[in-house]
Structure 1
Amino acid sequence: MLMIVSKNAGEGFSSLQEALDSIPPGEMQAVTIRIKPGIYEEKVTVVREAPPILLLGEDQHSTIISWNDNAHTLGADGEPLRTFRTGTLNVFAEGFTAENLTIRNTSGPGTGQAVAAFVDAGQAVFRRVRLLGDQDTLYTGPGRQYYDDCYIEGDVDYIFGPATALFDRCHLHNKRSRGYITAASTPEGAAFGYVFLDCRITGGEGVSECYLGRPWRPYAHVAFIRTVMDGSVTGEGWHNWGQPDREQSSRYEEYGSSGPGACPEGRVAWSRQLTAQEAAQYRILSVLDGWHPEGY
């Protein structure tokens, strides 16, 4: 099934949510929604009952889904939304894919948690997607997620959650100093949390002292494999969130980091530099437990 969303009158649905809402209940056939260039100012939800959905933009810089809720925004019930209800794009359906578009939360710095993409699906794929925000830009809920050639920016805990998520050739951008890229809450016993393969990290002008991660929950797992890091990354690399006991249970790992932010001798003692043999185990099929999203 193919749908079109466009800013041009008569060219399809004018709203992405309108297109999603038009899918008949119980529909099983995969749905592709082609999104024409434009800025779509709307809060979008892909419900759990939806069939496999592909949101396909024409260009990641000109096809933009945008909203501005933050943790202090009042909801319809008159209560603050808090973090988990702030998402611009909210994905609950199995078998979700987004390609060639931008998802942003424009709430701005200093407004607290403001999620751009809230992804709570068993399997989800993002290819050539820009995720723009400040604090808590991307929530990765339970399940397996794959991010390919994506751009993700923020300042505080801007990739967070319990997912097993593989970031393949992605660009992470620190917007302000003394921030944190990841806040993983990997479940106890999970083999993998966040794995970054062949990525790069940059910072805005003058940005410094940014940490690769801090443990939102005790068993956080994050691995950076062959990542190019600029000077915005602090030499310590990792932060314990003021909870020294989590130094014993968290697993923070690197292999082959390069650039001014790569400082193996300066990293906190409770992180690890992997051997070549250990790093070789960090492959798509291994991390995602046999699921290969390229065939998805």
Structure 2
Amino acid sequence: MTVSKSVDEGFSSLQAALDSIPQEYKEAVTIRIKPGIYEEKITVKQGTPPVLLLGEDTNSTIITWSDNAHTLGPDGEPLGTFKSGTLNVFAEHFTAENLTIRNASGPGTGQAVAAFVDAGYAVFRRVRLLGDQDTLYTGQGKQYYNECCIEGDVDYIFGAATALFERCRLHNKRSRGYITAASTPEGAPFGYVFLDCEITSGEGVSEVYLGRPWRPYAHVAFIRTVMDSSIIGEGWHNWGQPDREETSRYEEYGSSGPGANPEARAAWSRQLIPQEAAKYRVLAVLDGWHPEGY
């Protein structure tokens, strides 16, 4: 099916297209989204069959909304972080390609999620995720991000899922911010893994941390990442809870660029040796799941 700003072609609303899928339908569905700015809050419900949201062009196909944690819901109460998302995914299998997903709430408005991803298996290819605080929530399951751009300022990639980011760009919008806030469950072999990514920043942005542990067993690994000068030498922050230094696993291998400073990194983080870094492969991290099939 097709979603378009043209009145003569398909659905005018992406949510209407999703809602039109019969509840009993089990086959994979592709929804082609024509260029345009779609101002709507989207939910891909639990029980939806495997769905692909396929835009024509990342820069011209934009889904945008502006809820934040303080926005009042229908009951008159603040939505909170977990209901602020522009795109909310609860389906077991989900893919998005060639899109921009934006929370336009703006800086200083608090937590405002662009993509709330609580799926079993989720794939994002060539997707821009734009926001400020809490841009991307990775709730559960296995998630794969390829050639995506994710921007924000505070904890802008956060959650418990095993998520692999390959050849992505992370863009820091504010000084003294944090890229990741992982809440990896105890015993999970992998949390966030960044392979061959790039970290950039706005003009004058500095003292940005690679991450801080939202929960005690946070795991984040940056493998062969090019880091600009916005990254603070210490690299990692303990969120004011020194006991999490004992349980969190913060790792790097082959970092380069002005922000790569292994000698200055927090003593409780690790620089991997080649044999350890070699274990960070797509199939190993995602426990045998190959995202190319979705």
TM range (shorter): over 0.9
Distance 2:152 2:137 in 1: 12
Q: Cα distance, 1:193 vs. partner? A: 0.1
* TM-score, structure 2 normalization: 1.00
103, 106, 128: which one aligns with 2:104? 106
82, 85, 89: which one aligns with 1:84? 82
1:226: which partner in 2? 224
Q: How many residues align?
A: 294
What SS does structure 2 have at the residue aligned with 1:59? Answer: coil
Indicate the RMSD between aligned Cα atoms, in angstroms. 0.4
Amino acid at match of 1:83: T
Q: Cα distance, 1:54 vs. partner? A: 0.1
Cα deviation 1:161-200 (Å, max 9, x = unaligned) = 0000000000000000000000000000000000000000
2:131: which partner in 1? 133
94, 97, 119: which one aligns with 1:96? 94
Distance 1:29 1:185 in 2: 33
**Structure 2: stretches of 5+ with no match in the other structure:** none
What SS does structure 1 have at the residue aligned with 2:246? Answer: helix
Distance 1:295 1:275 in 2: 31
Residues 1:291 and 2:255 aligned together: no
Residues 1:262 and 2:232 aligned together: no
1:162: which partner in 2? 160
For residues 47-66 of structure 1, the aligned pairs below 5 Å read 47-66=45-64
Q: Cα distance, 1:290 vs. partner? A: 0.2
Amino acid at match of 2:16: E
What SS does structure 2 have at the residue aligned with 1:245? Answer: helix
Distance 2:268 2:86 in 1: 36
For residues 1-296 of structure 1, the aligned pairs below 5 Å read 3-296=1-294
Q: Cα distance, 1:89 vs. partner? A: 0.2
Q: Cα distance, 1:29 vs. partner? A: 1.0
Q: Cα distance, 1:26 vs. partner? A: 1.2
Distance 1:49 1:16 in 2: 17
Q: Cα distance, 1:10 vs. partner? A: 1.6
Distance 1:241 1:31 in 2: 42
What SS does structure 2 have at the residue aligned with 1:249? Answer: coil
**Structure 1: stretches of 5+ with no match in the other structure:** none
Q: Cα distance, 1:247 vs. partner? A: 0.2
Distance 2:21 2:8 in 1: 19
Q: Runs of 4+ in structure 1 displaced over 6 angstroms?
A: none
* TM-score, structure 1 normalization: 0.99
Q: Cα distance, 1:61 vs. partner? A: 0.2
What SS does structure 2 have at the residue aligned with 1:84? Answer: helix
